[in-house]
Amino acid sequence: MSTKLNYHKFENFKLSSGENVSVSLSYQTFGLQLGKGPLVVVNHSLTGDSNISGDTGWWSELIGSKKMINTDKFCVMCINIPGNIQEKRGFNYGNKWILSDVAKLFVQLLKNLGVRKVHSLIGGSIGGGLVWEMGLLDENFFENLIPVAADYKASDWLISNTYFQNLILKNSKNPVFDARLHAMLSYRNPKSINRRFKIKSNDLNERKVIDWLNHHGNKLKEKFSLKSYIHMNHLLSSIGYNYENKFLKLITKNKSKIHLVGVNSDLLFPNFEIENTYDLLSAIKKNIYYYQIQSDHGHDAFLIEFKQMKSKLNHIFEN
């Protein structure tokens, strides 16, 4: 198993804005060596990175030996989004990136590494949006597309949230901390927070929920640069921007099996949007499936409800 960071340099890569950039992609692989077995590609979330398995991996409950994505059977890869928490040093945040640019880089990296077919492409939140973006670039490259808690487009609701995040990040005296606190209120659900804390103090300043919010704000502030957070938030707002008027045409040609995963209590990517997408696509495409995670935890359920994730998706990785 290789868990070290690997690097691949791109020179003069043309962004959708017309700018040419040089950028180095970093990635990690787990399990079988690349080319020695079927490949599963995992896209990380907004505050995540390529460390997806092992003792500190953020999806280690799902990825590892004898787990849902079995590293005894698969090569598993995760690529760091340029400018993310892992790659914040030396990145030029002045360029005008959108998520489509990241998708093109990722697909090109896989092809440069000699990959001819990907068994499954899976990711949650912005990582799920990136699943859509990558999947539509090559109709035959991915056997399974698995966007989790994400839609193929940035809705007006999502854009509203990212706009507010951007205002906090650009105007607050403690921007990363404050933006993270606001984000936690869309990543979780009121039912989850109310059940967890149950007030527990008559002092407004000493309630457990305040401690919890402060913990998450401080934790991210220690890890994330302001420029990186602004950049990732912008990418989240740009899901589907480049194919807004071509989506149905592209998806009709696509040969991948598409497995949509929604969370019934999700506030950021509301489940009715995932259901609407399923209804839209199932009318024109046969190999599309829908699964619903039942949880009080909201959007973050894909990082919490591992038993349900396994029960819904395990069959994909047994074939």
On whether both 54 and 192 belong to a single domain, the answer is: no
Whether 278 shows a pLDDT value over 80: the answer reads: yes
Structure tokens of 83? 């400018």
Judged on CB neighbours under 10 Å (0-12, 13-18, 19+), 73 is: middle
On whether both 177 and 216 belong to a single domain, the answer is: yes
How many structural domains compose the chain?
Answer: 2
Phi, psi for residue 64 in degrees, rounded to 5: 160, -175
On whether both 123 and 48 belong to a single domain, the answer is: yes
Angle at 248 between CA 242 and CA 252, to 5 degrees: 120
pLDDT at res. 90: 74
On whether both 124 and 261 belong to a single domain, the answer is: yes
61: helix, strand or coil: coil
pLDDT at res. 183: 96
Cα–Cα dist 132/226, whole Å: 27
Residue 1: inside a domain, yes or no? no
- pLDDT tens string 53-103: 999 999 999 999 999 999 999 999 999 999 997 655 678 898 899 999 999
User: At which of 195, 211, 235 does a domain end?
Assistant: 235
- pLDDT tens string 189-240: 999 999 888 766 656 666 888 889 999 999 999 989 999 999 999 999 999 9
On whether both 190 and 42 belong to a single domain, the answer is: no
Element (H, E) at 290: strand 288-293
Angle at 53 between CA 48 and CA 57, to 5 degrees: 45
- pLDDT tens string 94-141: 889 999 999 999 999 999 999 999 999 999 999 999 999 999 999 999
- pLDDT tens string 281-305: 999 999 999 999 999 999 999 999 9
Residue 118: inside a domain, yes or no? yes
Scanning 201-263, the segments in alpha helix (DSSP H) are 208-223, 226-237, 247-253
On whether both 229 and 251 belong to a single domain, the answer is: no
CATH number for the domain that contains residue 173? 1.10.1740.110
On whether both 143 and 177 belong to a single domain, the answer is: no
- Average the pLDDT over 148-155 and give the result: 98
- Average the pLDDT over 39-44 and give the result: 98
Structure tokens of 223? 């890890």
Overall pTM surpassing 0.85 (yes/no): yes
On whether both 97 and 110 belong to a single domain, the answer is: yes
On whether both 59 and 101 belong to a single domain, the answer is: yes
pLDDT at res. 243: 86
CATH number for the domain that contains residue 108? 3.40.50.1820
On whether both 215 and 123 belong to a single domain, the answer is: no
Residue 150: inside a domain, yes or no? yes
Of 25, 27, 57, residue with least CA distance to 39:
27
On whether both 199 and 303 belong to a single domain, the answer is: no
Query: Is the CB of residue 99 less than 8 Å from the CB of residue 239?
Result: yes
Q: Could you list the residue range(s) of the whole structural domain that residue 258 is in?
A: 6-154+241-317
Q: Which amino acid is at 17?
A: S
User: At which of 219, 235, 251 does a domain end?
Assistant: 235
On whether both 93 and 54 belong to a single domain, the answer is: yes
User: At which of 220, 235, 250 does a domain end?
Assistant: 235
Q: Is the dihedral of CA 27, 30, 32, 33 positive or negative?
A: positive
